[in-house]
Structure 1
Amino acid sequence: MTLPAKLVISVIIPVHNGGASFRYCLSSLANAMPAPAEIIVVADGDTDGSWLVAKEFGAKVLRIPTSGGPAKARNLGARAAIGDILFFIDADVTITPDAIGKVEKAFSDEPELAALIGSYDDAPGASNFLSQYKNLFHHYTHQTAKEEAFTFWGACGAIRREIFLGLGGFDESYRRPSIEDIELGYRLKNAGYKIRLCKDLQVKHLKYWGIVSLLKAEIFYRALPWTELIWRDRQLSNDLNLGLNSRLSVILTYGLVISLLAAWWSPGFLAVAFVLGFLLFVLNLQVYRFFHHKRGFWFALRVIPWHWLYYLYGGLAFVIGTARYIFSVRFA
């Protein structure tokens, strides 16, 4: 009996001025057992010598003189890869020593599997509140989602090389870190391919989030383009951030805000606001229990206003993104 050939894994990392986090990323790959067949680093117009750090760790380095975005960088790395499986990770994450083995096993056990994604772990690298909140919320969202995924994820996602290249790779029109990975996932699903969320494949995110950087990324690089993508592909499935609870929470949050504003003229609306706030809290109680379990009562209490703000700007971005999509279609 002939045993099936062992799958070859190529790790691909786009980097633009990766700093200390990038060194931690490469250090974690150096400790991987088994090791990947190759590590390809695409230096996307970096000016801090990240490509030299990659050379120091023995990675194959490709350089782009002017930054073109992670989609372009990942595509360049994919075309140069030798592996059967392309394992994309971000330059600001670290992997566990067994991550490569988990990826290889998943594809070996499921020949029909086209792609898989992992999640952030529950111990983010940056210690400030917003970084902990943002990354823990991401962890919670993925860990409570269905294993049949509808999107891809570039921070920790693997795909069969022949399928990736056959679909044309990432859409390079996304010039910043945006939703190029989600867009690829939608094309995978529309082509009939299987994507699996592997909840035990987790990476540590080292990124520091501040108020401005968080809101800018969430609204302009994620929510707005994602809305337009949803309408383009008519992809309204209950996946990750698009579940029924999230939709109802957006409605309740706006009802709460309108009620509070109306209370300036008619105090009776305070009772309406209280009821809507209570319903919003109960609807998301599982989320707040998660944060309470992970970080304690006071942390969970601080999460609530940020979580409700998330529904506010998410709902607003959906309306604006919808208007932009309609305008672009009508006047194309």
Structure 2
Amino acid sequence: MSITAPWMATGQTAFTFRSRRKKPLDLVSVCVTNFNYGDYITDALDAIAAQTHAPLDLIVVDDHSDRDDSVALITAWMEENHQRFWRCTLIVHTRNQGPSAARNTAFRHAMGAFVFVIDADNTIYPRAIARLHEAARDGGFDATYCQLEYFDREQRIGSADIWDPAQMTRENYVDVMALIRRQAWADVDGYSHIDQGWEDYDFWLKFIDHGFEAGYVPEILCRYRMHGNSRTTNDAWAAHESLRGIMAFRHPELTARYLLATPDVKA
């Protein structure tokens, strides 16, 4: 299966800037996906601009926002802040196709060996990318992730933990906010669209299918916004059991190895 296909949404470049400097060896691409998050997008972009890791390749993909002025807001922000980045690009989908397609668009345009993924309604602390990149480089991981802080309507700490394929098969505890080796994304054929959500869980299970390993950085570096408009709130939780069945169908070997082979434990 190819990660590019004729039915995929095409994108138009609404803004682009590229430095004349040679591409840094430690360049990290940042993938920001947006769909009608004009109320939050500048917070996410400001947090990215404040990163202590200097060489950044910023790619924002707007998935055809139709209820706010997201594109105008992002364009204005990039015009004011593009000098902060080695490259700064806004791509606008000509039709809405969901978060998986938006992330795949960003990865296809990424120029860094690693790509940090973040949705437009979330934010990160200033040293997030630096710490995740350091861990990926020093540990030889195909991806790195951290602990989350939930904020806005709900304040609490996330449930991220050490990478364990068996536990990951039972439940997802790794958010989409992570640093991913671009080649690993290509090897697993990118993100797959799944109705009602769990594309990130499916992506991590494909990681395990291919024998890739992710490293856990036990620090609170990323902030997940809890609000009533998130896709997780509206879709994924309502279809929880159905999505579990979809995951089992899409990853039968993992299901057989870690779930069906596990005897029932009775109290």
Task: With the length of structure 2 as denominator, give the TM-score of the two structures.
Answer: 0.73
**How many residues in Structure 1 have an aligned counterpart in Structure 2?**
223
Counterpart position of 2:145: 117
CA distance in 1, matches of 2:25, 2:173: 24
Q: Does the C-alpha gap of structure 1 residues 238 and 29 become closer, same or farther in structure 2, counting only changes over 3 Å?
A: farther
Q: Quote the offset at 1:92 in angstroms.
A: 1.0
Which has the larger Rg?
1
Counterpart position of 2:210: 191
Equivalent position to 1:96, from 118, 125, 131? 125
Greater share of residues in strand: 2
One-letter amino acid of the counterpart of residue 246, structure 2: E
Q: Quote the offset at 1:238 in angstroms.
A: 7.7
Q: Does the C-alpha gap of structure 1 residues 228 and 54 become closer, same or farther in structure 2, counting only changes over 3 Å?
A: same
Task: Give the 3-state SS of the residue equivalent to 1:39 in structure 2.
Answer: strand
Cα pair 2:146 2:216 within 8 Å, conserved: yes
4+ residue stretches of structure 1 with deviation over 3 A?
A: 147-155, 212-217, 234-239
Task: Give the 3-state SS of the residue equivalent to 1:204 in structure 2.
Answer: strand
Counterpart position of 1:170: 191
Q: Quote the offset at 1:197 in angstroms.
A: 2.6
Q: Does the C-alpha gap of structure 1 residues 27 and 10 become closer, same or farther in structure 2, counting only changes over 3 Å?
A: same
Cα pair 1:13 1:40 within 8 Å, conserved: yes
One-letter amino acid of the counterpart of residue 184, structure 2: I
Task: With the length of structure 1 as denominator, give the TM-score of the two structures.
Answer: 0.59
Counterpart position of 1:228: 246
CA distance in 1, matches of 2:99, 2:232: 18
Cα pair 2:44 2:123 within 8 Å, conserved: yes
Q: Deviations over 1:75-97 (max 9, x none)?
A: 01100110100110111111000
Please list, as runs of the form range in 1=range in 2, the aligned pairs for 1:1-332 lying within 5 A after superposition. 6-47=25-66, 48-58=68-78, 59-111=88-140, 113-121=141-149, 124-126=151-153, 131-132=154-155, 136=156, 139-142=157-160, 145-148=161-164, 150=168, 153=174, 155-172=176-193, 174=194, 178-209=197-228, 214=233, 216-220=235-239, 222-234=240-252, 235-236=254-255
CA distance in 1, matches of 2:147, 2:63: 24
Counterpart position of 1:266: none
Unaligned runs of 5+ in 1: 253-332
Greater share of residues in helix: 1
CA distance in 2, matches of 1:162, 1:45: 27
Task: Give the 3-state SS of the residue equivalent to 2:115 in structure 1.
Answer: strand
CA distance in 2, matches of 1:60, 1:71: 19
CA distance in 2, matches of 1:70, 1:215: 15
Cα pair 1:40 1:62 within 8 Å, conserved: yes
Cα pair 1:88 1:154 within 8 Å, conserved: no
One-letter amino acid of the counterpart of residue 146, structure 1: I
Task: Give the 3-state SS of the residue equivalent to 2:39 in structure 1.
Answer: helix
CA distance in 2, matches of 1:80, 1:213: 26
Q: Deviations over 1:48-85 (max 9, x none)?
A: 12122222232411111221000000001100110100
Identity of aligned residues (%): 20
Q: Deviations over 1:137-162 (max 9, x none)?
A: xx3422xx334464685531121111
Q: Quote the offset at 1:214 in angstroms.
A: 3.3
CA distance in 2, matches of 1:54, 1:154: 24
Unaligned runs of 5+ in 2: 1-23, 79-87
Task: Give the 3-state SS of the residue equivalent to 2:237 in structure 1.
Answer: helix
CA distance in 1, matches of 2:98, 2:32: 12
